[in-house]
Structure 1
């Protein structure tokens, strides 16, 4: 929402004020300095203290609703209305044309808002299934997922915060269809979006268990990026909170096949090499094979860090396994690309397939 200074002084009515989307919109208004008034039909609404101004309105099917709304608009100088309730929205969309034609509903139909993410997921699934990647793989191709399963992957992933876009999800889906069995290991998991995608694909294609490696500590996040734009935003993140968000995102999908190590990459590799089981209070104990089918490297993007991640973990990747180097194309520096190109040059005899999709480099070993 981008409002002019004049519009900021004209209140937006949020009604019903206690719905989750109403409260989300309230926070956006507060950040933008927008004047808002909350309204409810409940005699006592627990959301009332969250609003700077408050009003009572009867239910929309009450005979006195329109008169009460008209009075509220006049007395408070309301300029627009936000409602995430589909019944209220549909009713106001009709009656405001005659009651107050100058007062718009500020949001589109809530039904459209609620369904847009699902519709987008179905569209991405259909597109991915219609245009499979022509991967020159050494592994037999597994059957395509049903459209609904793939749409579910897109939808659930895109509810989670993170930088894993739909193009990359499509690529991960495709290489999972050309994967041998083994562990799925991710270096750098943050909030868990790509970890969810990998874990879900690993289960659907019977690949193996997923292990996420991340220190979730600020001192390991310094990228030394060109211009310092990335490093300058480090202080905005709470890394203990990031781990909690990761756990909240992954726990509903875990069946003793997902876990994590809160360690720097090289230290985590030593533990992985020495023990087949990983324990965490949130996920319990997960047993791993000790050999990797899919290695996703998305940790610190400084050249030295990316090189160390590859050197530490690539030896565990089995024949036919995949190495994904994320942000191989990265506008803030060339660390992952330099490290990836060095690996390509040094290990070309081991590599059977290589391609870039989106910003990631995908490599399959012979």
Structure 2
């Protein structure tokens, strides 16, 4: 990466062909927060990766920090995992090992955006995990960014037991209970001075909003909390 080139341009170029919804201003904010953790021990944890837009931005930051890795936890649903609900919306069920993950109840995808945004992803490749890997490899980040198929509960059981993170980006199940559970799990990994970040914050998901208000803003263990962009919230963990 050229040090004198504006990083926002580098991010935009790196993700221009990667499907997803994370806007450039949010990717830039993630990058800056990640770089701000230089000197802290630990890696970067992402929950909810889709095809890798945010993972690439985090990977670019990790590459600058040299000894930092990015762990990306996602269910990575296959094309065959999606099904249509009675109301015409779409959800998915994923089986990993002997566990069934029945997802997307509170944030179902309506037919029009499903056909516009999701169907084309699977025309490219029926394996979302393979698409993620290809997108990451296209930016030569496959030695930095590692996918883990599952949720944080499964990661806590099967992931590295000595894992620590200095930045965590949460964009998984948007229900209140799920977000609260993800916050509790992340806090076990997060080092003092590290950041916890949320997508879709204070936009249209009440479960996300309430979880952030109850577990982050009202929590004295966080020394700083701020909405950064239209739907991106971050807080610094004091330990």
Q: How far apart, CA to CA, are the structure 2 residues paired with 1:172 and 1:271?
A: 26
Pairs aligned (count): 203
Q: In the alignment, is the contact (CA less than 8 A) between 1:167 and 1:358 conserved in 2?
A: no
The reply on whether 1:317 has 2:190 as its aligned counterpart is yes
Alpha-carbon distance, 1:363 to partner: 0.7
More relative contact order in 1 or in 2 (CA 8 Å, sep 6+)?
A: 2
1:326 aligned partner: 199
Q: How far apart, CA to CA, are the structure 2 residues paired with 1:234 and 1:306?
A: 24
Match of 2:143 among 256, 272, 292: 256
Match of 2:14 among 146, 156, 173: 156
C-alpha spacing 1:354/1:146, structure 2 compared with 1 (3 Å): farther
* Structure that is richer in strand per residue: 2
1:178 aligned partner: 36
Taking structure 2 as the reference length, the TM-score comes to 0.76
Q: Can you list the C-alpha shifts for 1:192-226, whole angstroms capped at 9, x where unaligned?
A: 1111111111111346101110112322431414x
Three-state SS of the structure 2 residue aligned to 1:208 is coil
1:347 aligned partner: 219
C-alpha spacing 1:163/1:347, structure 2 compared with 1 (3 Å): same
1:336 aligned partner: 208
The reply on whether 1:214 has 2:74 as its aligned counterpart is yes
In the alignment, structure 2 segments of 5+ residues that lack a partner are 78-91, 94-101
Q: How far apart, CA to CA, are the structure 2 residues paired with 1:305 and 1:291?
A: 21
Q: How far apart, CA to CA, are the structure 2 residues paired with 1:206 and 1:353?
A: 27
Kindly report the root-mean-square deviation, in angstroms, between the aligned alpha carbons of the 2 structures: 2.4
Q: Can you list the C-alpha shifts for 1:146-183, whole angstroms capped at 9, x where unaligned?
A: 33444222211222111111110221132123213411
Q: How far apart, CA to CA, are the structure 2 residues paired with 1:307 and 1:240?
A: 32
In the alignment, structure 1 segments of 5+ residues that lack a partner are 1-144, 277-289
